[in-house]
């Protein structure tokens, strides 16, 4: 069938809206008409060629929409279902079996190689194959193919624009604090970066009942938002030469938890310097290639600290997304405060607005049938 997709043709280039061919769903595939898709920082890292992904390519990994067709082996989902599309996992390895699909043994093959695991592709422009299957979806398009393992049926009351970013940025931030760090009531946390992931972490920390929530963010408007969402202390890094000291001015013994969404080596080092004994630093921001572990092993040893990477907030989406949807319903996850909707054909303009700090979470919307 003919669809419209936002194609990136070379590293760093703008997206171009193109008419391309999409295959009919195979037995295990689900054709989804996209209604909304969030833009995540990882899409831009891939667009810029920093995360290797063969081009031309269709990116996008926070899709939500309506199922149009399913393959013969699909039983969980039916045409007409409203779904969110999430990262893909195999469902049969040890990690998937223990509720950790974000660490699926075949995560790279199912999400990052730009084609199906058998080497075939489903999107073409004339005779030229286009890389797709980004996070098992590639949803910067009017339609996409997904799988039973990476779609979640949505309740009727959640709009697609709200549901879309649950699939990556929101579950990464909220899950990072609620599941991976599992911050206990009255604990303290430092959150570096006030984008979608950082602000979702703030909401997650408020849900957990953290007593002290310190947010480091350069944009004043985002600091205001962080405070409205539950931050107790705000630090403007540009006005603060020593971040660890600024945190210790608030909590002399340091923070119980730190959660880095920036991936910036100097921020990571400062976050380590702000950790209390037995403190845990969770890392979700993508650091430059070759960045060493932050801090010093001797200090980590002496203070019994932990540094850990976190993918997708340690979420098992089938269980965690319904919990997040309940928090949204109850007003504890007011995602409307972060989201800025733009029409799909404004994709480049929307990304520029996000880059300039004019909005936090860009969600692109497409007309329904």
Q: Is 40 in the site for ligand CXF (CB under 6 A)?
A: yes
- For ligand CXF, the closer of residues 70 and 311 by Cβ is 311
Find the shortest distance in angstroms from Cβ 42 to ligand CXF: 3
| 113 binds ligand CXF, rule: CB under 6 A | no
State how far the Cα of 34 lies from the Cα of 82, in Å rounded to an integer: 10
DSSP 11: T
Q: Which does 286 bind (CB under 5 to 8 A by kind): ligand CXF, Zn ion, none?
A: ligand CXF
Among 42, 208, 262, 264, binds ligand CXF (CB under 6 A): 42
Regarding 32 and contact with ligand CXF (CB under 6 A), the answer is: no
Residues 133-192 that bind ligand CXF (CB under 6 A): 168
For tokens 């997650």, name the residue: 204
Q: Exposed, middle or buried, 146 (CB in 10 Å: 0-12/13-18/19+)?
A: buried
**Which listed residue (7, 42, 141, 362) binds Zn ion by CB under 5 A?**
42
3-state helix, strand, coil in the chain (%, to 5): 35, 25, 40
CB nearer to ligand CXF: give 40 or 190. 40
CA gap 121, 270 in Å, rounded:
44
- Asked if 89 interacts with ligand CXF (CB under 6 A), we say no
* Alpha carbons 351 and 366: distance in angstroms, whole number: 16
Crossing angle of helices 196-208 and 220-229, rounded to 10°: 20
Q: Least distance in Å: CB of 41 to Zn ion?
A: 7
Q: Which is nearer to ligand CXF, 171 or 187 (CB)?
A: 171
Residue 246 binding result from ligand CXF, Zn ion, none, given CB thresholds of 5 to 8 Å by partner type: none
**CA 108 to mean position of chain CA atoms:** 16
Close Cβ partners of 249 (under 8 Å, ≥ 6 residues apart): none
Whichever of 42 and 138 has its CB closer to Zn ion, that residue is: 42
Q: Segment contacting Zn ion (CB under 5 A): 32-40, 159-167, 190-198, 233-241?
A: 32-40
Taking residues 163 to 192 in sequence order and writing x for each that binds Zn ion by CB under 5 A, - otherwise, the string is: -----x------------------------
Mark the segment that binds Zn ion (CB under 5 A) among 37-45, 67-75, 89-97, 319-327: 37-45
Residue whose token pair is 């309506």: 66
Any alpha helices (H) in the chain, and if so which ranges?
A: 41-47, 94-97, 107-111, 160-163, 169-175, 196-208, 220-229, 243-250, 265-273, 297-303, 317-329, 347-355
- Using the rule CB under 5 A, is 40 a contact of Zn ion? yes
Pairing of strands 212-216, 233-235: parallel
- Shortest approach of Zn ion to residue 206 CB, angstroms? 22
- Between 25 and 193, whose beta carbon lies closer to Zn ion? 193
CB atoms within 10 A of CB 209: 11
**DSSP category for residue 141:** B
Smallest distance, ligand CXF to C-beta of residue 313, A: 10
Q: Is 286 in the site for ligand CXF (CB under 6 A)?
A: yes
Instruction: Please state whether beta strands 82-85 and 151-153 pair in parallel, antiparallel, or not at all (unpaired).
Output: antiparallel
Position 110 contacts ligand CXF (CB under 6 A): no
Determine the size of the site formed for Zn ion (CB under 5 A): 3
Binding-site ranges for Zn ion (CB under 5 A)? 40, 42, 168
Write out the residues near ligand CXF by the rule CB under 6 A. Answer: 40, 42, 168, 286, 311
């Amino acid at each position: 069938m003919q669809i419209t997709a936002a194609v990136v043709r070379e590293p760093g280039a703008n997206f171009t809206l193109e008419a391309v061919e999409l295959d009919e769903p195979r037995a295990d595939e689900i054709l989804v008409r996209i209604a909304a898709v969030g833009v995540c920082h990882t899409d831009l890292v891939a667009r810029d060629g920093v995360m290797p992904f063969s081009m031309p390519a269709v990116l996008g990994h926070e899709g939500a929409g309506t199922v149009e067709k399913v393959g013969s082996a699909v039983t969980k989902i039916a045409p007409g279902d409203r779904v969110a599309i999430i990262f893909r996992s195999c469902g049969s390895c040890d990690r998937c079996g223990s509720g950790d699909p974000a660490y699926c043994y075949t995560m790279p093959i199912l999400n990052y190689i730009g084609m199906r695991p058998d080497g075939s592709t489903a999107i073409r422009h004339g005779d030229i194959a286009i890389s797709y299957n980004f996070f098992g979806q590639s949803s910067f398009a009017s339609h996409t193919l997904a799988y039973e393992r990476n779609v979640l049926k949505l309740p009727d009351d959640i709009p697609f624009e709200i549901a879309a970013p649950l699939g990556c940025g929101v579950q990464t931030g909220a899950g990072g604090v609620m599941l991976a760090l599992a911050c206990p009531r009255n604990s303290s946390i430092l959150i570096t970066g006030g984008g979608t992931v950082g602000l979702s972490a703030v909401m997650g920390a408020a849900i957990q009942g953290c007593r002290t929530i310190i947010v480091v963010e350069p944009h004043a408007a985002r600091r205001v938002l962080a405070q409205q969402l539950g931050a107790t202390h705000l630090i403007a890094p540009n006005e603060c030469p020593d971040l660890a000291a600024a945190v210790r001015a608030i909590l002399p013994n340091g923070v119980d938890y730190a959660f880095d969404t920036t991936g910036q080596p100097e921020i990571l080092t400062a976050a380590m310097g702000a950790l209390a004994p037995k403190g845990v630093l969770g890392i979700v921001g993508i650091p430059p290639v070759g960045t060493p572990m932050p801090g010093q092993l001797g200090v980590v040893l002496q203070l019994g600290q932990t540094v850990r990477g976190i993918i997708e907030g340690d979420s098992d989406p089938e269980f965690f997304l319904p919990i997040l949807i309940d928090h949204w319903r109850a007003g504890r996850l007011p995602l409307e405060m972060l989201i800025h909707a733009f029409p799909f054909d404004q994709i480049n303009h929307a990304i520029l607005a996000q880059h300039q700090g004019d909005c936090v979470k860009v969600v692109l919307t497409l007309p329904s049938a």
